[in-house]
Amino acid sequence: MNETARKPRVAGFALFTLFLTAVCVVLGVWQLQRRLAKHDLIAALTERLAEVPVALPAPAQWAALSPARDEFRRVSFTATYAQLPDAMVYSPGSAVRKDASGPGTWAFLPARLPSGETVVIDAGFVENTMQDRSVEDRAVKKLVTGQVVSFTGYLRFPEAPGWLTPAENRDKRLWFVRDHVAIASALGWGAVAPFYVDLEQPAPENGIPRPGPLDVHLKDDHLQYAITWFTLAGAVLIAFAVWARGRRQGPTP
C-alpha cells in the first residue's frame, strides 16, 4: 500500500481512538462525580436517621415536602390502621435494613390520622412469603384493631417502576415497586399523603411484619469504576501508539 493511501487510514483510526478515549475519560469523570454525590447522600441520610423524631408535618405542608430535603426524616405521630385491604411489596433485599437482606415482602397498610387524612404505613418486613397471602393476612389482621397507635418511623417517597419491573398481581395484592399512591388507587384507599412512613416502631408481639430502624449502607463502587474507565482510556491510547509505530516502520524486508 502506498504512502498516500495509508495516511487517510491512519488519520481515521486516530480520530476513532481519540473519540473512544474521550468516551472512557468522560465515563470515568462521571463515576467520580457520582462518588462525590453518593458520599453527600450517605452523609445527609446518616444525619437524618440519627435525629430525634419530630412531629409528622401537617397536611398543609405536605405539598412542599420533597425527597431531596425530607427522605428518611424521622417522625412520630398517632393514627389508627384503617379497615381496608393491605398490600404487599416484594423486595429481593433492603439497602437500608441489615435485618432484611434476603427476599420477602413489605406490608403496606393505610392509617387514619386524628384529623381524618390517610397516611400509608410500611409496617415492616415479612420474609419469604411472596406466594403465601394467608400468612400475610393473618399477620395484618392482628395489626388492624381499631385502636389508636403511636408510630415512629421515617418519611419515604414513592419509587418509579423500571423497564423490567413486573406488573402487580391484584389477586394477591402483590406489587413489585413501592409506589404507595398507585397501590392506594388500586385498592380504594382514597387520597393519601404524598409520602409513606417506613415504620421503626412499635413492633407486633409476634414480630410479623417486622419493623425496625434504618441504617444506611449504600454500595459505593464508583472509584473502582472510575479507575477502570481511566485504565481503558490509557489502554486504547497505548494500543493505537503500538499500531501506529508498526505502520510507520512498515513490513520487514
Distance CA 105, CA 168 (A): 13
For the chain, 253 residues long, the average pLDDT of each consecutive 10-residue run is: 58 83 89 77 74 92 92 93 92 76 88 96 80 66 86 93 86 92 95 96 86 74 84 87 74 50
Q: What does the alpha-carbon distance between residue 111 and residue 81 come to, in Å, rounded to a whole number?
A: 4
Residue 98: the pLDDT is 76
Same domain, 239 and 195: no
Contacts of 138 (CB under 8 A, 6+ apart): none
Domain that holds residue 138: 73-201
State the Cα–Cα distance between residues 192 and 106, nearest whole angstrom: 18
Residue 238 located in a structural domain: yes
Domain tally, the chain: 2
Please answer whether residues 46 and 71 qualify as being in contact, where contact means their C-beta atoms are separated by less than 8 angstroms: no
Query: Is position 80 within any domain?
Result: yes
Q: Are residues 197 and 88 in the same domain?
A: yes
pLDDT value, residue 87: 93
Query: Of all helices (H) and strands (E), which one includes residue 104?
Result: strand 104-112
| Helices 222-249/3-50 angle, 10° precision | 170
pLDDT at 131: 56
Query: How many Cβ atoms from other residues are within 10 Å of residue 173's Cβ?
Result: 19
Question: What is the reported pLDDT for 242?
Answer: 83
| Residue 235 within any structural domain of the chain | yes
* All residues at 6 or more sequence positions from 42 whose CB lies less than 8 Å from its CB, including other chains: 216, 218, 220
- Assess contact for 47 and 241: CB atoms under 8 A: no
The whole model's pTM is what? 0.71
Kindly state whether residue 107 falls inside one of the protein's structural domains: yes
Whether residue 78 is found in the same domain as residue 179: yes
